Chain A
């Protein structure tokens, strides 16, 4: 019995289904963050929400790479992670300059 259980665990590849569930959770998180993006009272709140959504997009790409067995997709994640910081820094500079005027 124990042997059979081990065998079934080895042969049934459950990682894709868990990855699919994780993709759904991440998508739900992005939708929840979208609420703040639309509602946020100030522009700074929206920038924070956008920053989080972009970070979640990197995670989404990583999980999709597991789901699809495509390690190449990680490179897209690198690009997104690099671009987001520039965007956030630019937004922060814009906010600060606008406030100083």
Chain B
């Protein structure tokens, strides 16, 4: 009985998750074109891209319903979730150092007075002065 139910629900669930994943992936692609500066673009690509691909892999697991697939797909999802933030951080750091401009309406740039663009030295915050906070 339950197996029959699973057999009936599984294609519907697969289709729904797959379409959600495709939607998120498309939003990521639109975000990367429409966003105003490097850091917001990276934000869209890292978060929505990971979510979209993760959903597509979950759809794969639901569709095939096997342990081996589950383990492999979990491995890919785990790896994506581990590396996407690191990659985004690396690119953001390299972009900031190579002089990427922030958007005009950006609220907060915490490295502005701390990072010297000519000597490439990063100073720590003064204990006297409070660090700038986002509005």
Contacts and interface: CB of A to CB of B under 8 A. Distances in A.
B53 A56 contact: yes
B41 A62 contact: no
B135 to A, nearest CB: 26
Please tell me the size bucket of the interface on B.
Answer: 35 or more
A21 B15 CA distance: 10
B103 interface: no
Contact of A47 (B29, B73, B91): B91
Contacts of A45: 38, 41
Given A32-B32, A95-B95, 6 more contacts: A22-B18, A32-B30, A32-B33, A36-B33, A52-B45, A55-B52
Interface of B: 7-8, 11, 14-15, 18-19, 21-23, 25-26, 28-30, 32-33, 38, 41-42, 45-46, 49-50, 52-53, 56-57, 59-60, 63-64, 66, 68-69, 72-73, 75-76, 79-80, 83-84, 86-87, 90-91, 93-95, 97-100, 120
